[in-house]
């Protein structure tokens, strides 16, 4: 079928909204009519060349929609179901689905980040451009498109009363932030947490830390305008690290904690390697945990002083919050319905697919938390 999609054609250039061909769902796959898609920093990282990925690619990986066709053998979802399009599968059967240390199911082949390390998994393109070339997708689906294919074990069915625009954001920003606090760092009650970068992911780290019972949640961003929204999501303190005015981050932390110059947990959600170094330097040298959530430029490098980790401090990475995709999405939907987490305030702009480049610009400039593309 012919569908409209926003296609990455050349690094540094705007996406092109054009007609592409989408094949029929094969066994185990479903066809989803996309109803909403958030725009994420990772989409910008492909568009501007930070992630050096060959075009053409249908971007968008934070979507929700309605199942309109199912392939052979699909029983877990039916036509008419509303679903969140997850970014990693959860087949529930493979060794990795049974391994509590990773969320990357062996079936994660529709994901250009994991395909190179999951050799059993094959990327099967499903979009073709007008000139007949395969267009890949960054993650499992291309959600900057009116329709997309996805494997049935990579979607989470949701109640029909959840607005698509809010459901969409759970697929990346929400699960990444909340997952990082629960399934990567295991934030504990009474702990102190620092969050660098107050975008959608950072705000979700904040609300994840709050659910986990952290009592000090320090938000850090170089834009003062982020303070109000950070506090709305549960931050107890805010620091603009570009305006320390003679103080140091350690002395500011000592003021907040009443003595200690170190926090228990830090989350780096900017993708800047210099910020990652700072995050590591402010967690406790004996027990502090840092999670590198943001994805840095692929050619960048990071250095730490030799003894940085010698006493027990740890640094780890995550992809989508190290959260088992369907299991944790269901948990997040429960928290959402119970009013424990907020999603709507993340949405700062509502756009059409034709306006995708405007949304990318707003996000890149820090003027938007989440621009969302809405489809009819
Ligand atoms: Zn994302
Ligand atoms: Zn699996």
Average pLDDT over residues 230-258: 97
The CATH number of 2-161+343-374, from 3.40.50.1380, 3.90.180.10, 3.90.209.20, 3.40.50.720, is: 3.90.180.10
Q: Check residue 122 and give its pLDDT.
A: 61
pLDDT band of 111, cuts 50, 70, 90: low
Q: Check residue 305 and give its pLDDT.
A: 96
pLDDT band of 51, cuts 50, 70, 90: confident
Ligand at shortest distance from the CA of 106: 2
Partners of 147 in beta bridges: 33
- As a whole number of angstroms, the distance between CA 219 and CA 195 comes to 5
Span 60-87, pLDDT tens digits: 999 999 999 999 999 999 999 999 999 9
Ligand 1 geometric centre to CA of 109 (Å): 17
pLDDT at 94 over 50: yes
Question: Is 174:201 a contact under the CB 8 Å cutoff?
Answer: no
Q: Which of 121-135, 137-151, 215-229, 276-290 has the lowest mean pLDDT?
A: 121-135
On the question of a common fold for 2-161+343-374 and 177-319, the answer reads no
Q: Check residue 110 and give its pLDDT.
A: 55
Ligand 1 geometric centre to CA of 200 (Å): 9
* Residue found by looking up tokens 């725009």 in the block: 39
CATH class of residue range 177-319: alpha beta
* Residue list, CB under 5 A from ion ligand 1: 40, 42, 172
Average pLDDT over residues 187-214: 97
pLDDT band of 124, cuts 50, 70, 90: confident
Ligand 1 geometric centre to CA of 41 (Å): 6
Q: What is the CA radius of gyration of the chain?
A: 20
Q: Check residue 116 and give its pLDDT.
A: 47
Ligand at shortest distance from the CA of 109: 2
Q: Check residue 138 and give its pLDDT.
A: 85
Q: Which of 134-143, 225-234, 265-274 has the lowest mean pLDDT?
A: 134-143
Ligand 1 geometric centre to CA of 143 (Å): 11
Mean pLDDT of the chain, nearest integer: 94
Ligand 1 geometric centre to CA of 90 (Å): 18
Structure tokens at 87: 């970014």
pLDDT at 119 over 50: no
Ligand 1 geometric centre to CA of 3 (Å): 22
Q: Check residue 106 and give its pLDDT.
A: 81
Span 344-353, pLDDT tens digits: 999 999 999 9
Q: Check residue 108 and give its pLDDT.
A: 72
- Percentage, residues of the chain above pLDDT 70: 96
Q: Check residue 298 and give its pLDDT.
A: 83
Structure tokens at 308: 């940085």
Ligand 2 geometric centre to CA of 128 (Å): 28
pLDDT at 189 over 90: yes
- The values of phi and psi at residue 292, to 5°, are -85, 100
ipTM over 0.85: yes
Ligand 1 geometric centre to CA of 170 (Å): 10
Domain ranges in the chain?
A: 2-161+343-374, 177-319
Span 282-303, pLDDT tens digits: 999 999 999 999 989 888 999 9
**Closest C-alpha among 73, 62, 41 to residue 329:** 62
Span 330-368, pLDDT tens digits: 999 999 999 999 999 999 999 999 999 999 999 999 899
Q: HEC string of the chain?
A: CEEEEEEECCCCCCCEEEEEEECCCCCCEEEEEEEEEECCHHHHHHHCCCCCCCCCEECCCCEEEEEEEECCCCCCCCCCCEEEECCCCCCCCCCCCCCCCCCCCCCCCCCCCCCCCCCCCCCCCCEECCCCCEEEECCCCCCCECEEEEEHHHEEEECCCCCHHHHHHHHHHHHHHHHHHHHHCCCCCCCEEEEECCCHHHHHHHHHHHHHCCCEEEEECCCHHHHHHHHHHCCCEEECCCCCCCCCHHHHHHHHHCCCCCECEEEECCCCHHHHHHHHHCECCCCCEEEECCCCCCCCCCCCCHHHHCCCCEEEECCHHHCCHHHHHHHHHHHHHCCCCCCHHHEEEEECHHHHHHHHHHHHCCCCCEEEEECC
């Amino acid at each position: 079928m012919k569908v409209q999609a926003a296609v990455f054609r050349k690094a540094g250039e705007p996406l092109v909204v054009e007609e592409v061909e989408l094949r029929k769902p094969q066994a185990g796959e479903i066809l989803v009519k996309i109803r909403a898609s958030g725009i994420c920093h990772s989409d910008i990282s492909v568009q501007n060349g930070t992630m050096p990925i060959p075009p053409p690619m249908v971007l968008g990986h934070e979507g929700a929609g309605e199942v309109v066709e199912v392939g052979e053998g699909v029983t877990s979802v039916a036509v008419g179901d509303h679903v969140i399009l997850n970014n990693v599968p959860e087949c529930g059967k493979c060794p990795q689905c049974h391994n509590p240390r990773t969320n990357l199911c062996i079936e994660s082949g529709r994901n250009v980040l994991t395909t190179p390390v999951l050799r059993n998994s094959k990327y099967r393109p499903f979009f073709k451009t007008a000139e007949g070339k395969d267009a890949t997708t960054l993650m499992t689906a291309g959600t900057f498109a009116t329709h997309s294919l996805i494997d049935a074990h990579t979607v989470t069915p949701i109640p029909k009363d959840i607005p698509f625009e809010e459901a969409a954001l759970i697929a990346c920003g929400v699960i990444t932030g909340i997952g990082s606090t629960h399934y990567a760092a295991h934030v504990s009650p009474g702990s102190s947490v620092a969050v660098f970068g107050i975008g959608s992911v950072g705000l979700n780290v904040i609300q994840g830390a709050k659910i986990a019972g952290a009592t000090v949640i320090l938000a850090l961003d170089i834009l003062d305008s982020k303070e109000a929204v950070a506090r709305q999501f549960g931050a107890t303190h805010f620091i603009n690290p570009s305006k320390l005015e003679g103080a140091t981050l350690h002395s500011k932390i000592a003021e907040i904690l009443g003595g200690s110059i170190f926090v228990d947990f830090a989350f780096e959600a900017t993708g800047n390697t210099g910020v990652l170094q700072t995050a590591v330097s402010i967690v406790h040298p004996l027990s502090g945990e840092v999670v590198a959530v943001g994805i840095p430029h692929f050619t960048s490098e990071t250095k730490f002083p030799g003894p940085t980790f010698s006493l027990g401090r740890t640094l780890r990475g995550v992809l989508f919050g190290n959260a088992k995709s369907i299991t944790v999405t269901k948990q997040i939907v429960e928290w959402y319905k119970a009013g424990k987490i907020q999603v709507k305030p993340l949405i700062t702009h509502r756009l059409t697919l034709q306006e995708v480049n405007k949304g990318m610009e707003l996000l890149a400039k820090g003027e938007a938390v989440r621009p969302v593309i809405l489809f009819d």
